[in-house]
Structure 1
Amino acid sequence: MELAVELREQGRGMAGALLVLGISFAYTVESWRLAADISAVHLLGFVVAGLALVVLITRSVGFRSDEDAESGGTDTGLRRDGGSPLWVEFTEIVFQSLFIGYATLALLGVVDLRTPFPVVVRMGLIQVVPLAVGAALANELLSGEQEELSEAGFPQNLGVFALGAIFFAAPIAPTGEIGLIAAQIDWTRVGVLLLVTVSVTYLMLYELEFRGQSRRLQGRSRWRQVGQTCIVTVVGLLVAFGLLVALGGIESEPVATWTRRTVVLAFPAAIGASGARVILG
């Protein structure tokens, strides 16, 4: 299998992990505290039961598309029908979930080099189940074409972007996690977070072969794709800022404070905006 195809498959699983279920866990302080508070037996039971569910989902719908599975699979191991070995897909999903889980926690400043190693391991195990469920479902829910859905043009598509951004960001906006994360990240991390937001948005729209990608690419130069990505990101930023203002509490804050909070909330908002473009057209 070509490297580009393999990277696209892995990237789709990681983005799907965040989009389907995982982003809310990453922004929940209770899930961070569970890593220190939950007993080892309880944690083990949670992971075993959760990953057993992931195995069932993977066996039913599969992570890879049938074409890629048939071209890249081997003849050994337990296969799902028409696909690659089940253990291969399951291993990939767990890897994707751990990678994107730790990457997100590090990006938000929840874990760093000073975090005790046992806590880091436990945080990964807490995050891996919801992320793995999302990764397992990503191919079935978000890939493929829907020719019956016509794509709205600018500025009509702004409503679609805003709807997705609100859907993802509104439940997170009033929580204390936004202020907590914003208070502990420096400006370098804010810039990296904004760059990652733009990059993930572009990948979801134009590179990972999510639903409707061929229509989004049709007749668009690379610069138009970048422009559309920037529009989606700006919508995410505006929705994030609007939610924070509507919920109160930032009007009296320094500009630096509400800027950091806006960027922190814009990450899930932009994922929601690009996800709405994938799902709704």
Structure 2
Amino acid sequence: MLAQSSGRAFGGALLFALPLLMTMEIWQLGLSIPRYRLGLLMAATVLLVVFLSQHFGAGMPGVGWPGYLADAGVAFVMAAVATALVLGVLAVIRPVQGWQDSLSIISLEMLPAAVGASFARSQLGVGGRRVPTTTYGGELLLMAAGAVVFAANIAPTEEVVLLAAKMGAWHPVALVVLCLVLMHGFVYSVGFRGQEPAVGGVLRSFLTLTVVGYVIALVVSAYLLWTFGRFDGVGPAMVVTEAVVLALPASLGAAAARLIL
């Protein structure tokens, strides 16, 4: 059972992190990112995976915090193994000669890999604890996890900065509106599998879940861009525009997480 769930975690880590594993910008950022930002990112990753394990872990219900931590630990170990293996085979890292640089690159890749490992271990197995969340906090956690996975694969790239630089004054506003429409439509209107009823009415669902979910996606986007140095040396208007650009995939990830889980 442990071997099977570990194998699922390994596969989930690859599925979620492979685009980032093969992105050149992340290899370069691993050599230049300030260590305190890298440390904060790792701490945030640990917290996210532990809370995911608490809500949707692979163990039996009622296992308590030791079980949640063990579940998260397996996800982290398999994510690290998958990341190191792929980067080593692709000759991106050389663990023996440059272990410090290799460790930095692996740490950056761990965010989507660990979330993917946790998801695959808990949700894709025959005996997984696939229980739909019924709490408001659980819904918000799901949206944060989905936003992280989608945004993390794009935040390191130069395209976010390029797109933000090309936008006029009205483009960010239009993009925010588009994101809100897409999020609400995907979850409540178009008939995707996992679609939810608008509990409490359309307006309440829009304000308490769609709008709040977009704010979460925006915050996640801003944090990742700051971590990767995309805000360094730019003004407030550019900061907001970059965050709004990255919030497009982040918000769709947040909506997708609610449908899938």
Q: TM-score, normalised by structure 2?
A: 0.48
Q: TM-score, normalised by structure 1?
A: 0.45
